[in-house]
Structure 1
Amino acid sequence: MGSDEFLFLLAGLKWTVALSAVGFLGGGIAGLAVALARTSEMPLLERVTAGYIALFQGTPLLMQLFVVYYGLALIGLKLDAWVAVSIGFTLHASAYLGEIWRGSIEAVPKGQTEAAKALSLNYVSRMKDVILPQAIRISLPATIGFLVQLIKGTSLAAIVGFTELTRAGNIISNQIFAPLLVFGIVGVLYFIMCWPLSLYGARLERQFAATTR
C-alpha cells in the first residue's frame, strides 16, 4: 500500500466528515423543529411528529438510504449519490435528535416554564431565553453520542455508490488484495474521529451528573 492509496483513503475520509457534518447540521435544524412540535401541546402536531420519529427510528438506516436513492428514481426524481445520502442522513438525524431534544426540553423543571409565564414572556422568549439553554446543556452527552453513531453510520452510504471512507477502503482492498491492512487503517481513521468525541461526551455526562447531586 503506497502513498497514492493512502491519499485515496484520505479523500474518502474527507467525504465521511462532510457527510457527517451535513447530516448532523441539517438534522439538527430539522430536529429542533421536531422537538418543538413534540412539546407544543398541540395534539395533531404532536401525533404527526411522533409518527415521523417512529418511522425513522423503527426502520433501518440502510433501507432509508435505498428509498431516497432508488425509490425517488422510480418516480422520475434521479438524485446524485451525494445529494441522496445527504437527504437520507439529514432525515435520519432529525428524527433521533428531535427525540433527544424533546426529552431534554421535558427534563427542564416545570417551575422554569411557570416562572417565565409569570413574567409574561411569550412562547418564543420562553424557549429562546429560558428553556432551550437549559435543555441544550442537558442534551449534550446524548447529542455527542448520536454524532459518534452518525459518523460510523456514514459507512452505509457505500451501498448506493457514494465513495466515503469505507467504500474507498473497499476499492483499494480490491486493487492490492490486502483487506486486513486496508481495513485496519480504515478502522484507525474511524477511531481517531470517534474516540475523542466519545471521551468528551463521557466527560460532559460526568460533569452534569455531579452538578445535579
Structure 2
Amino acid sequence: MGRDEFVFLLIGLKWTVALSVVAFICGCIAGLIVALARTSGITLLERITAGYIAVFQGTPLLMQLFVVYYGLALIGIRMDAWAAVSVGLTLHASAYLGEIWRGSIEAVPKGQTEAAKALALRYFSRMKDVVLPQAIRISLPATIGFLVQLIKGTSLASIVGFTELTRAGNIISNQIFQPITVFGIVGILYFLMCCPLTIYGAHLERKFAASTR
C-alpha cells in the first residue's frame, strides 16, 4: 500500500463526497416538494406522493440504482454512470427526506397554522414564514442522520461501474492483494466523514429536547 494507491483512494473519496453533496442538495429540493404535497390537503397529491415514498422506502437502494441505469436505457434514456447514480440517489433521498419533513411539518403545533390563517396569510407565506422554520428545526437531527446513511449508500454506486471510495478500494485490493489494509483505510475514511455528523446530530437532538422541557 504505497503513495499512489492512497492517492487513488483519495480520488475515490472526492467522488464519494461530490456524489453525496449533489444527491443531498437535489434530494432536499425534491423532498421539500414531496413533503408539501403530502401535507397539502389535496387528496390526489397526497396519495401520489404517499405511493412514491412507499416505492422508494420499500425497495433496496441497490435495486433502485440498477433500475435507473439499466432500466431507463431499455426505453431509450441513456445516462453515464455519474448521472445515473446522482438521479438514483436523489430520488431515494427525496422520498426519505420528504417523509421526515412531512412528519416535522405535522409536528408543528396546529395553533401556529391557525394563528397564521387568522392573520390572513396565504399558503405560501404561511409555510415560508411560520410553519417551515419550525419544521426544519424539528427535522434537523433526523435529516443529519439520513445524510450519514446517504454517504454510506454511495458505496452501492459501484453496481454501475462508478468509481467512488469503495470501488477504488476494491480496485486497489485486487491489484496489491492486501484487502485488510485497503478496506481498513476505506473504513477509516468513511468513519472520518460520518462520525462528526453523527455526533452533531446527537448534539442537536439533545439540545432541542432540552429546549422543549
Report the TM-score range of the alignment, normalised by the length of the smaller protein.
Answer: over 0.9
Give the Å deviation of 1:76.
Answer: 2.0
**CA distance in structure 1 between the partners assigned to 2:103 and 2:19 by the alignment:** 26
The answer as to 2:7 corresponding to 1:7 is: yes
Show structure 1 runs of 4+ deviating over 4 A. none
**CA distance in structure 1 between the partners assigned to 2:9 and 2:158 by the alignment:** 14
Give the Å deviation of 1:189.
Answer: 0.1
**CA distance in structure 1 between the partners assigned to 2:49 and 2:75 by the alignment:** 25
Give the Å deviation of 1:74.
Answer: 1.3
**CA distance in structure 1 between the partners assigned to 2:39 and 2:117 by the alignment:** 16
Structure 1 residues 116-168: Cα deviation after superposition (integer angstroms, max 9, x where no partner): 00111000100000000000000000000000000000000011100000000
1:4-153 to 2 correspondences below 5 Å: 4-153=4-153
> What are structure 1's unaligned runs of at least 5 residues?
none
TM-score (norm 1): 0.99
Structure 1 residues 85-136: Cα deviation after superposition (integer angstroms, max 9, x where no partner): 0000000000000000000000000000000001110001000000000000
**CA distance in structure 1 between the partners assigned to 2:15 and 2:93 by the alignment:** 17
CA-atom RMSD, angstroms? 0.4
* Number of residue pairs matched by the alignment: 213
> What are structure 2's unaligned runs of at least 5 residues?
none
**CA distance in structure 2 between the partners assigned to 1:158 and 1:183 by the alignment:** 15
Give the Å deviation of 1:75.
Answer: 1.6
Overall identity of the aligned pairs, in % = 83
Give the Å deviation of 1:31.
Answer: 0.2
Give the Å deviation of 1:78.
Answer: 1.8
Q: Which amino acid aligns with 2:155?
A: S
Structure 1 residues 40-81: Cα deviation after superposition (integer angstroms, max 9, x where no partner): 000000000000000000000000000000001112222100
**CA distance in structure 1 between the partners assigned to 2:115 and 2:145 by the alignment:** 32
**CA distance in structure 2 between the partners assigned to 1:106 and 1:61 by the alignment:** 27
TM-score (norm 2): 0.99
